[in-house]
Amino acid sequence: MDLLLLEKTLLGSFVAVLVAIFVSKLRGKRFKLPPGPLPVPVFGNWLQVGDDLNHRNLADLARKFGDILLLRMGQRNLVVVSSPDLAKDVLHTQGVEFGSRTRNVVFDIFTGKGQDMVFTVYGEHWRKMRRIMTVPFFTNKVVQQYRYGWEDEAARVVEDVKKNPESATNGIVLRRRLQLMMYNNMYRIMFDRRFESEDDPLFNKLKALNGERSRLAQSFDYNYGDFIPILRPFLRGYLKICKEVKERRLQLFKDYFVEERKKLGSTKSMSNEGLKCAIDHILDAQKKGEINEDNVLYIVENINVAAIETTLWSIEWGIAELVNHPEIQKKLRDELDSELGPGHQITEPDTYKLPYLNAVIKETLRLRMAIPLLVPHMNLNDAKLGGFDIPAESKILVNAWWLANNPANWKNPEEFRPERFLEEEAKVEANGNDFRYLPFGVGRRSCPGIILALPILGITLGRLVQNFELLPPPGQSKIDTAEKGGQFSLHILKHSTIVAKPRSF
């Protein structure tokens, strides 16, 4: 027998023994586990259900096994929740019990084992981080301070698109310019900084490292080492790349942004609260000894991922739907024209008096939910849910996309029809007032960024529709809206070319 085969056989036997011990432990406790496909030794259900546990595949499984189901992915327990009542139980009623996060081998690297806020367990550290981040990021005061910046960035997008002769003829990949806009929207809040153009070398370095981080974290390629710990040595190469990307990225945040801001702070009085940007508040917390330097960098890391990408994906989905539904685009433009008058460019306060614009945004977030399974939740201790036992440290996926797209709960959910939010679903808001519609989650671990995301979406989509007719490229009647899902993300697969024909006022 060659050495490799011997090694694999030994590994396999060892894993089989571990799983047998694990299963017998569960049985010993006489757990009443949720239904699910029959697991096989070592692999559990992994070989049956595969790697791509996206919102659609999980909805198929829910149809088969019910609103709560259990998948054994190697040694990991994964509980999928697919009804509004159970979602309420996880996120609200038992919000503390299910308020932690699972991490995996890769997220452990990118978050320094939960030294951040998004991926840390529910407890003291999370509470402190959320409190420290609230004043600089998540209040109406922040919106009022930075909305002029967002309006300015959107105006620059309009200007640049108009300047590009390709826009009105063959079309452009609008997303590229919008990505710069989203970085500027958030870097203005964080560091009072902006990047001048898509060619800015620092912007490109940052974009590349953030892109690499997302690709590595959202990929399914490392599942085997995560599900079956004994196989982890085979992940060594992958994890090494993750570590390198993480180091280079945090170093970049530190050298080019945090240290720069510190230098500025030491030469200029920061006594005027109005001039403070987010990092000044965060550094104050560090000076007081509430958090350490690593926590500061992980806050910057979290905002780079949680804020920029999710909002950009949602803008991109919104544009795709408007291009593919010209009648909806026209109706939105008519609302903007009649409510704001010709020539008045939409501002943040305007977004609240435009019901159709808000309906378009809600419908985009319903059909094309950026985080369709929420960020995975976890119970630190054994728990009960829907009459079943949930073993400690299970990964709990709330299929928020299915809650918002289940025909049992919505009229023709596959249709992009903003009118539903003015008619039969008029009372439903994006803040979680209805457990069928949770694009930002709800409860303790819900998205605090909703307060920024909604006005940014309104200003951006509003300005684009006010200033351009958005069309598919020549020779195409629609743009491709195929989806690309990750561990818990959903974005458009192809960054389409869009024709943006300037309107004359």
Which residues of this chain interact with ligand HEM, rule CB under 6 A?
A: 91, 117-118, 130, 137, 302-303, 306-307, 310-311, 314, 370-371, 374-375, 439-441, 445-449, 452-453
Whether 120 and 114 have beta carbons less than 8 Å apart is answered as yes
Q: State which residue, 195 or 440, has the beta carbon closest to ligand HEM.
A: 440
Q: State which residue, 101 or 261, has the beta carbon closest to ligand HEM.
A: 101
Q: How is residue 302 written in tokens? A: 């979290």
Q: How is residue 109 written in tokens? A: 């690297």
Q: How is residue 285 written in tokens? A: 């917390």
What minimum distance in Å lies between the beta carbon of 93 and ligand HEM?
14
Q: State which residue, 46 or 98, has the beta carbon closest to ligand HEM.
A: 98
Q: State which residue, 473 or 486, has the beta carbon closest to ligand HEM.
A: 486
What minimum distance in Å lies between the beta carbon of 187 and ligand HEM?
12
Whether 468 and 332 have beta carbons less than 8 Å apart is answered as no
Q: State which residue, 78 or 117, has the beta carbon closest to ligand HEM.
A: 117
Question: In terms of Cα–Cα distance, which of 434, 375, 425, 380 is closest to 403?
Answer: 434
Distance CA 368, CA 404 (A): 10
What minimum distance in Å lies between the beta carbon of 311 and ligand HEM?
4
Question: In terms of Cα–Cα distance, which of 121, 89, 93 is closest to 108?
Answer: 121
Whether 41 and 20 have beta carbons less than 8 Å apart is answered as yes
Is 242 annotated in a binding site? The answer is no
Element (H, E) at 497: none
Which residues, other chains included, contact 315 with Cβ-Cβ below 8 Å and sequence gap of 6+?
178, 182, 457, 460, 461
Count of all residues that appear for the chain in the document: 505
What minimum distance in Å lies between the beta carbon of 88 and ligand HEM?
12
What minimum distance in Å lies between the beta carbon of 396 and ligand HEM?
10
Distance CA 138, CA 129 (A): 12
- φ, ψ for residue 471 (rounded to 5)? -135, 160
What minimum distance in Å lies between the beta carbon of 182 and ligand HEM?
9
Question: In terms of Cα–Cα distance, which of 109, 280, 385, 284 is closest to 119?
Answer: 109
Whether 259 and 302 have beta carbons less than 8 Å apart is answered as no
Distance CA 398, CA 319 (A): 27
What minimum distance in Å lies between the beta carbon of 459 and ligand HEM?
13
Distance CA 232, CA 219 (A): 16
Token pair 């614009």: residue:
357
Question: In terms of Cα–Cα distance, which of 215, 161, 232, 152 is closest to 188?
Answer: 152
Q: State which residue, 154 or 452, has the beta carbon closest to ligand HEM.
A: 452
Question: In terms of Cα–Cα distance, which of 302, 293, 300 is closest to 187?
Answer: 300
Beta strand segments in 416-458, E: none
Give, in degrees to the nearest 5, the angle at Cα 25 between 232 and 88: 85
Q: State which residue, 410 or 440, has the beta carbon closest to ligand HEM.
A: 440
What minimum distance in Å lies between the beta carbon of 107 and ligand HEM?
12
What minimum distance in Å lies between the beta carbon of 99 and ligand HEM?
8
Q: State which residue, 167 or 179, has the beta carbon closest to ligand HEM.
A: 179
Distance CA 117, CA 129 (A): 6
What minimum distance in Å lies between the beta carbon of 144 and ligand HEM?
15
Q: State which residue, 162 or 444, has the beta carbon closest to ligand HEM.
A: 444
Considering Cα of 193, then 490, then 360, then 495, what sign does the dihedral take? positive
Tell me if residue 161 falls in helix, strand or coil.
helix
Nearest residue to ligand HEM on Cβ basis: 449
Q: State which residue, 150 or 227, has the beta carbon closest to ligand HEM.
A: 150
What minimum distance in Å lies between the beta carbon of 408 and ligand HEM?
22
**How far, in Å, are 242, 257, 285 from residue 252 at the CA level?**
15, 8, 21
Distance CA 406, CA 413 (A): 7
Task: Report CA Rg, the chain.
Answer: 24
Q: State which residue, 296 or 452, has the beta carbon closest to ligand HEM.
A: 452
- Residues contributing to the annotated binding site: 447
Per the annotation, binding residues for heme are: 447
